[in-house]
Amino acid sequence: MRTTPTSRSYSSGTSDVPLLGDTIGENLDRAVRAFPDRDALVDRPTARRWTYAELAADVDALALGLLRLGIAKGDRVGIWAPNCAEWTLTQYATAKLGAILVTVNPAYRAHELEYVLKQAGIRLLVAVERFKTSDYAAMIEEVRPRCPELERVLLTGGPGWDEVLVAGRRADPALLAEFAERQGELAPDDPINIQYTSGTTGFPKGATLSHHNILNNGYFVGELLDYTEQDRICVPVPFYHCFGMVMGNLAATSHGACTVIPAPSFEPGATLAAVAAERCTSLYGVPTMFIAELADPDFERYDLGSLRTGIMAGSPCPSEVMKEVIERMGMAEVSICYGMTETSPVSTQTRVDDSVDRRVSTVGRVGPHLEVKVVDPATGRTVPRGEPGELCTRGYSVMLGYWNEPERTAEAVDAARWMHTGDLAVMDEDGYLAITGRIKDMVIRGGENLYPREIEEFLYTHPDVLDVQVIGVPDPKYGEELMAWIRMREGAEPLTAEAVRAYCAGRLAHVKIPRYVHVVEEFPMTVTGKIRKVEMREAAVRILGL
Cα 508 from Cα 451, distance rounded (Å): 13
Q: Which CATH class is domain 24-426?
A: alpha beta
State residue 453's pLDDT score: 82
Cα 463 from Cα 446, distance rounded (Å): 31
Strands in 212-268 per DSSP E: 232-234, 258-261
CATH assignment, 441-544: 3.30.300.30
Cα 89 from Cα 396, distance rounded (Å): 26
Cα 111 from Cα 137, distance rounded (Å): 14
Question: Is the peptide bond prior to 345 cis by the omega test (within 30 degrees of 0)?
Answer: yes
State residue 201's pLDDT score: 46
Cα 510 from Cα 531, distance rounded (Å): 26
Same CATH fold assignment for domains 24-426 and 441-544 = no
434-458 in b/e form (b: 16+ CB < 10 A) is: bbbbbeebbbebeeeebbbbebbbb
Cα 228 from Cα 405, distance rounded (Å): 39
pTM (predicted TM-score): 0.86
- What is the amino acid identity at position 480? E
State residue 2's pLDDT score: 42
Report residues of the chain scoring pLDDT below 50: 1-4, 200-201
State residue 236's pLDDT score: 97
Output DSSP code: residue 158.
S
User: How, if at all, do strands 232-234 and 443-445 pair?
Assistant: unpaired
Residue 38: CB partners within 8 Å, gap ≥ 6?
51, 52, 229, 256, 258
Q: What is the SS3 string spanning 262-283?
A: CCCCCCHHHHHHHHHHHCCCEE
State residue 3's pLDDT score: 43
**246-298: per-residue pLDDT in tens?**
999 999 999 999 999 999 999 999 999 999 999 999 999 988 899 999 999 99
- Phi and psi at residue 150, to the nearest 5°: -80, 105
What's the residue count for the chain? 546
The residues spanned by each domain of the chain are 24-426, 441-544
How buried is 508 (Cβ within 10 angstroms: 0-12 exposed, 13-18 middle, 19+ buried)?
Answer: middle
